[in-house]
Structure 1
Amino acid sequence: MDNYYQILGIPYGSTKDQIQRAFKKLALQYHPDTSDKDYDKSRYLLISEAYEVLSDAQQKKQYDYLLRNQKQAIPVKELDNQIRYDQLMNVYLWDMEDILHNLSANQLIWKFKGKTLGQKFVEMLFFLDLWILSPVTFRDPFPNTHPSKMALESYFYDLRRRIDKKLRQMSDKQLMEYIPYWQRSYQECFFEACRHSAHYLYYLSNWLKGELIEFPDFTFKDQILAIKSQ
C-alpha cells in the first residue's frame, strides 16, 4: 500500500504548494466532472484523503513522524482491508515501548504547562484502555497520583497483553457492532485510538528531543475526562 506522498506522486517532505499542485492535477484526472474516461471513485477518494492530511500542518507533522519511524505509513481508512487490527496496534505499542524503555526517572517528572511527561504518557495509555478495552466502563489505575516508572511499565505491559488478546479474539462482525454509549462502531473507536496514539507519540518525541513548543489536547479529551470522573 502506497503512503500519502506516493499516492500524490510527490517526494517526502514536499511543500504545501507542491502538495496543492499535485492534488489539483490528480483531481482533474480522476474527478467524474472533468474526466469520465479515467474516473475511479476509490482512487479519487484516496487522493482526497491524502491531500486532506498532507495539507493540514498538524496532521502532516504527525504523519511524517509515523512515516520516519515505520518506513511506510498506511492510510488509516484503508487499514481494515490491509492488516490485522492487533498488528496495526502493535506498530504504535512498539513506539510507546521504545520511549518508555529509554525514559529515566528524571525525565518522567519533566513538566510542561503543569503536566509531567509521565502524566502525559499515562494519558496516552488511558485513551487506549478506554477506547479499545473499556468503551463503556473505565477505571483510572492511577487516581490523582504520579506513577513511578515501575508502575507505568507494569500498566503498559498489562495493557498491551489485554489489547492483543481482545483484538485477536474479535470477529469482523463484532468490530462493526455499534456502541450506543459512544454513538460509533467498535472499529471507529479503534481507529480513534490509533489517531490519538500518533498525536501523543509525535509530541512526546518532540518533548524528549527538547523541541516541544506546544502539546495540544486531542479531539475527544473532554469525553475521556467525563468518563474518568464517573
Structure 2
Amino acid sequence: MAIVLDKSHRWRVLAAHAFLIALVALVIFPFLMILSISLRPGNFAAGSLIPETLSFEHWKLALGMSYTAPDGRLVKPDFPVLLWLWNSVKVASLTAIVTLTLSTTAAYAFARMKFRGKRAALSALMLMQMFPAVLALVAIFAIFDRIGSVFPFFGIDSHASLLLAYSGGIALHVWTIKGYYDTIPVEIEEAAKVDGATPWQAFRLVLLPMAVPILMVVALLAFIGAIIEYPVASIL
C-alpha cells in the first residue's frame, strides 16, 4: 500500500535537502578555492573559481619537481619535498609496525599472565603518558648523542634513532590492547590448549585474529602520531 504524504511533509523534506546542500557547498567552497588558486599560473590569488589557464607549476614545486617557465627557464624546487614525504611515511610505517608488535605482546602479558609487580607496572605505564615528550627533548637529545658515539647507527640525524624514540610511546597502546584482550573470554584460549595448541599458538592463531579491530586502530594511531610529530623529529 502506497504511503501518501501531505504537502507540508514534502516541503519539510525539500527544505531539509536544500539546507544540507547549502551546508555541503559552504564546507566545500574553501577547498575549491584553494584548488583553484593552486592551478593558476603565477602568484595570482584573485580570479574566478574556474581558472582561465590551467598550470601545474605550483603542484610541481610542492612535490619537489622541476618545471619549465613560460620564458623557457628551468625552475628547480627549493626543497626536496618528495624525499621528506617519503622519509615521514617510512618512519611512521616502521613506527606503527614496531609499536604494534611490542604493544601486542606486552598487553598479552598484562592481560593473561600473573607476575609480581603487574599492577605497579601498569600504573607506571599510565604515569609515563601524563608527561609530553617535549618535556624530555633535552634528555632525549643527550641520550641519543651519547648512544651515537658508541653505535653511530642509532645516533643523531638517523632514522633509527627517531624510530627508537617513537617506539617508547607504547604505554597508551598497551593499555588499549589490554582492555580489548580482557573482553575476550579466556576459555577460548584454554580450549585451544586442550586441543594441543601451545601458548604461542593460542596467542597467534586464536587471540590475535579476534583482536584485529583494536590492532588496526592502534596501528593507525601510531602511524598518525608519528607522521605528525615534529619536536622530537626536529632534534633527531
Q: TM-score range by the shorter chain?
A: under 0.3
TM-score (norm 1): 0.23
Which is helix-richer, 1 or 2?
Answer: 2
Greater C-alpha Rg: 2
TM-score (norm 2): 0.23
Structure with the bigger RCO (C-alpha within 8 Å, sep 6+) is: 2
